[in-house]
Amino acid sequence: MTDFNYAPQRRRSLPAITLSRRQVMSGLPISLVTASACRQGTAKAAGATASAVTGAVPLSYFGVDRFSTADQWSRLKHAFEVAHAEKLVLAGDPDATYRHDGPLTLDGVSLDGHGCSLLALSDGAQVLRCIGSHWRVANIRLLGAAQKRNSDNWGNGIWIGDEGGQVTTDFTLENVTVGAAAPGRGVAGAGFMFNNAHRGRIIRAVVRHSLADGIHITNGSSDLTFVEPLSESTGDDGFAVVSYRRHGKLCQRIRVTDGISRDSAARGYSVVGGRDVVYERVQVERSSAAGMYLYGEEAYDTYGVAQCQMIDPILKDCGTGRNLPAGFANAALIIGGREGQDIYEGKIISRGAADCVVRNPVIEGAGPACTAAISTHQFAIRPHIVGANLRNIMPKSSSFQPNGIEVGGRDVIIERPAMTNVAGLAILIARTASGHCVVSAPRITGTRLRPGPINSFIYTEPAADLQQIDIRNGMFSHGPDRLAIDLLPKGTLRLTANKML
Rounded to whole angstroms, the Cα distance separating 107 from 323 reads 39
- The domain locations on the chain are 79-500
Q: Is the pTM of this model over 0.95?
A: no
* Residue 197 identity: A
> Exposed (0-12), middle (13-18) or buried (19+): which is 113, by Cβ within 10 Å?
buried
Per-residue pLDDT tens digits for 60-70: 999 999 999 99
Per-residue pLDDT tens digits for 323-356: 999 999 999 999 999 999 999 999 999 999 999 9
| Whole-number percent of the chain with pLDDT over 70 | 89
Do 362 and 389 meet the contact criterion of CB atoms below 8 Å apart?
A: yes
What per-residue confidence (pLDDT) applies to 317?
97
Q: Which 3-state string (H, E, C) describes 24-48?
A: HHHCCCHHHHHHHHHHHCCHHHHCC
Rounded to whole angstroms, the Cα distance separating 383 from 434 reads 12
What per-residue confidence (pLDDT) applies to 341?
96
DSSP 245: G
Rounded to whole angstroms, the Cα distance separating 308 from 294 reads 8
What is the band of 415 on the pLDDT scale with cuts at 50, 70, 90?
very high
Q: In the CATH scheme, what architecture does the domain 79-500 have?
A: 3 Solenoid (2.160)
**What contacts 327, CB < 8 A, 6 or more positions away?**
none
Backbone angles phi, psi at 378, to 5 degrees: -55, -45
